C-alpha cells in the first residue's frame, strides 16, 4: 500500500490562520501531483502561552510552537509537520529530520505605522517617542539602535490579532514578518508601511521559509517531499540555521542572520546583541561556493572576539550618528573630522523641472539652503542615491520618491531610469563623478547643477587610529597626498568610488562597505 495513494498523508498543523495557510499550501502542492492529503490540527504550548504574561523572546526558537507537532510525528499520529522555519529549534528529537525547505517568501520584517504617528523627517518615519509593539528581543535591539527614543511594548497573539491591536490599542506602530502578512493577504491600507530590509535590519534566521519535518526512517515520504523542496532556500536556510546553532540561539539572544546568494557568491549579515536593550554588534561576511565549506564556528568566533580599538572617520559627524553610538557602546575610541572644505555656490534652478536627483547629503544641504521655501507645494519629485541621502531630505520635511539600493551605481542608475520621466536636474559639487548621469539611457533631458564647491583641506593631521574609515574620494586624496598608512592600521571605505581612489594611492587590502551607509561600514569594523 502506498502513502498518499491508498491512504492519506496526514499533515500536522497548528490552528492559527497562518499555520493553516502553510498547511493548506503544502496540501495543495501535493494534491496537484495526485496525492491524497489530510490535515490534523494540533494545539501547541506556544498557542496557549501567548495568553500569558510571557515575552515572545522567551518562547521563540525553544520549541514552544513545535514540540507537540514533533511528539505527534514520533507517535505516528501525523506523517508531516509544517513549521515556520524561524520557530524551529536547531536540534530535533531523535528520529526526526527536515525533508525539505520551501521557496523563501519575503524574508524581511515590516513596520506598520498608524497614519497619525508618521513623521517623514525621522528615521523609519516614526514620530518622536513612538510606542512600538513587538515581543522579539532581536527586533527590540535593532529598533533601539536606530531609534533610541522609541518606547517598546510587548505584543502577543497571532498575526491578525496583532494587526487589530495596532488599530484598537495604544500602539503607534508594530513590527511583523512580511511573509505572514503577505500569505494571509491582510488589508494594510490603513497604515504606513516601512520595509525593514537587510543590510540595515537583519531578520531572524530562515525567516520566510517553511520547513517540512518527517520521521527519519520514512523513505517513502522523503521522496514525496522532494516536490516541496527548493534547493536555493535549502542552501541558504542551512547556512543561517548553522549560525543560529553556533551562536547558541536557542537561549534567545537577540540574533539576526540573513544570507543572500548572487551567482557563486553568498553574502551573510549578522546582528547580535547581548540583551534586547544593548547595541548589537554587526558583521558582514562574503563566502564563495560550495557553501557547505563555510566555517560557521569561525564567523561566530570572529564576532564574539571583536575587541575594542581606536577608529577615525573622515567626516563631520555628531554624537547621535548611528555609527558613533554603536562604536562607543562597544567601548571603541572614536575620532572624526572632515578633510574637505565646502563652499556654497550661487545658482538658478531651471524651469519645468520634473525630478531632482541628489547624490550626497551635501548636495541636499547646499541646494536647499536657498530653495527650501520653493518646495512647500512643489510638484518636483525628489530622488536620493541611498538611504543616508534620503534621510537628509526627510529631515527637511520633504518626501522622497526614489531611493537607490545597494552600492552598484550602474544598477541604481538603471532603476532610476525606469521610473523617471521629463527633465532631471542633478544638484552636485563642482568636482563630481557624475556616475548616475553617465549610466542613464532612457532619460536624456538631464542637467548638472553646481550648488557647492569642495576641495581638500591643507592643514590636516596624521591619524594614529588602528582603523581609518574614509567616506569620499576627496577625503582619500586629502589624506594620502600627505601621509602613508602605518603597518598596524587597516582601512575601511564607504563605497566603490572611494575604494578606487584608495587604490590610486597604493592603499590596498581595503574593506569596502556592502552599501554606502554607516551600518554597512560598521559591519566591516567588527
Strand order of the sheet with strand 446-456? 340-344, 446-456, 424-429, 355-358, 381-384, 402-403
Given the DSSP bridges, would you call strands 490-493 and 511-512 parallel, antiparallel or unpaired? parallel
DSSP state of 189: T
Closest CA to 421 of 349, 352, 351, 354: 354
- Rounded to the nearest 5°, which phi and psi values hold at 305? -95, 5
Give me the catalytic one of 87, 109, 218, 523.
87
**Distance from C-alpha of 14 to C-alpha of 48, rounded to nearest angstrom:** 11
Report residue 481 as a C-alpha cell: 597626498
Rg from Cα positions in the chain? 26
Report residue 515 as a C-alpha cell: 552599501
DSSP state of 500: H
Q: Give DSSP secondary structure letters for 116-145.
A: GGB-TTSGGGBPTT-EEE---HHHHHHHHH
Closest CA to 448 of 432, 462, 464: 432
Determine whether 87 is an active site residue: yes
**Distance from C-alpha of 45 to C-alpha of 49, rounded to nearest angstrom:** 6
Report residue 375 as a C-alpha cell: 518646495
Report residue 401 as a C-alpha cell: 520618491
Burial zone of 174 (CB within 10 Å; 0-12 exposed, 13-18 middle, 19+ buried) = buried
Burial zone of 240 (CB within 10 Å; 0-12 exposed, 13-18 middle, 19+ buried) = buried
185: left (phi over 0), alpha (psi -120 to 50) or beta: left
**What spatial distance separates the first Cα and last Cα of the chain, rounded to whole Å?**
57
**What are the beta bridge partners of residue 113?**
173, 192
4: left (phi over 0), alpha (psi -120 to 50) or beta: left
Given the DSSP bridges, would you call strands 131-133 and 109-114 parallel, antiparallel or unpaired? unpaired
Which positions are annotated as active-site residues? 87
Amino acid at each position: 500500500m502506498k502513502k498518499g495513494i491508498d491512504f492519506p498523508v496526514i499533515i500536522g498543523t497548528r490552528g492559527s490562520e497562518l499555520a493553516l495557510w502553510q498547511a493548506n499550501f503544502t496540501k495543495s502542492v501535493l494534491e496537484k501531483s495526485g496525492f491524497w492529503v489530510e490535515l490534523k490540527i494540533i494545539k501547541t504550548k506556544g498557542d496557549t502561552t501567548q495568553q500569558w504574561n510571557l515575552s515572545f523572546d522567551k518562547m521563540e526558537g525553544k520549541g514552544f510552537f513545535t514540540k507537540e507537532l514533533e511528539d505527534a510525528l514520533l507517535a505516528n499520529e501525523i506523517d508531516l509537520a509544517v513549521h515556520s522555519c524561524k520557530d524551529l529549534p536547531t536540534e530535533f528529537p531523535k528520529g526526526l529530520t527536515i525533508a525539505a525547505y520551501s521557496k523563501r517568501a519575503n524574508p524581511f520584517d515590516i513596520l506598520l505605522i498608524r497614519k497619525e504617528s508618521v513623521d517623514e523627517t525621522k528615521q523609519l518615519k516614526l514620530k518622536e517617542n513612538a510606542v512600538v509593539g513587538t515581543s522579539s528581543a532581536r527586533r527590540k535591539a535593532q529598533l533601539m539602535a536606530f531609534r533610541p527614543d522609541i518606547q517598546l511594548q510587548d505584543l502577543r497573539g497571532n498575526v491578525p490579532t496583532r494587526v487589530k491591536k495596532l488599530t484598537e490599542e495604544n500602539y503607534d506602530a508594530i513590527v511583523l514578518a512580511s511573509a505572514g502578512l503577505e500569505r494571509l493577504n491582510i488589508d494594510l491600507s490603513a497604515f504606513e508601511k516601512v520595509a525593514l530590509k537587510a543590510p540595515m535590519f537583519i531578520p531572524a534566521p530562515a525567516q520566510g521559509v517553511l520547513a517540512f519535518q518527517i520521521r527519519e526512517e520514512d523513505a517513502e515520504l522523503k521522496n514525496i517531499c522532494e516536490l516541496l523542496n527548493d534547493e536555493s532556500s535549502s542552501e541558504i536556510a542551512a547556512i543561517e540555521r548553522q549560525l543560529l546553532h553556533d551562536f547558541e540561539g536557542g537561549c534567545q539572544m537577540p540574533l539576526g542572520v540573513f544570507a543572500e546568494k548572487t551567482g557563486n557568491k553568498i553574502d551573510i549579515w549578522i546582528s547580535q546583541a547581548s540583551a534586547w536593550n544593548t547595541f548589537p554588534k554587526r558583521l558582514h561576511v562574503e563566502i564563495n561556493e560550495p557553501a557547505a565549506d563555510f566555517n560557521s564556528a569561525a564567523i561566530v568566533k570572529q564576532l564574539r572576539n571583536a575587541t575594542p580599538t581606536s577608529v577615525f572617520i573622515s567626516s563631520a559627524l555628531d554624537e547621535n550618528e548611528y555609527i558613533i553610538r554603536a562604536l562607543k557602546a562597544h567601548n571603541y575610541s572614536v575620532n572624526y573630522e572632515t578633510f574637505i572644505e565646502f563652499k556654497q555656490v550661487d545658482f538658478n534652478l531651471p524651469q519645468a523641472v520634473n525630478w531632482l536627483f541628489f547624490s550626497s547629503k551635501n548636495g541636499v544641504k547646499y541646494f536647499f539652503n536657498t530653495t527650501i521655501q520653493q518646495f512647500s507645494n512643489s510638484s518636483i519629485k525628489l530622488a536620493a542615491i541611498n538611504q543616508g541621502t534620503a534621510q537628509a531630505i526627510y529631515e527637511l520635511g520633504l518626501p522622497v520618491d526614489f531611493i537607490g539600493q545597494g552600492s552598484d551605481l550602474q544598477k541604481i542608475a538603471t532603476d532610476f531610469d525606469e521610473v523617471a520621466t521629463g527633465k532631471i536636474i542633478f544638484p552636485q559639487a563642482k568636482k563630481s563623478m557624475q556616475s548616475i548621469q553617465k549610466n542613464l539611457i532612457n532619460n536624456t533631458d538631464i542637467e548638472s547643477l553646481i550648488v557647492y564647491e569642495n576641495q581638500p583641506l591643507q592643514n590636516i593631521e596624521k591619524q594614529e587610529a588602528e582603523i581609518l574609515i574614509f567616506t569620499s574620494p576627496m577625503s582619500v586624496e586629502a589624506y594620502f597626498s600627505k601621509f602613508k598608512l602605518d603597518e598596524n592600521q587597516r582601512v575601511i571605505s564607504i563605497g566603490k568610488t572611494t575604494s578606487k581612489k584608495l587604490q590610486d594611492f597604493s592603499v590596498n587590502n581595503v574593506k569596502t562597505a556592502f552599501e554606502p551607509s554607516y551600518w554597512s561600514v560598521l559591519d566591516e569594523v567588527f
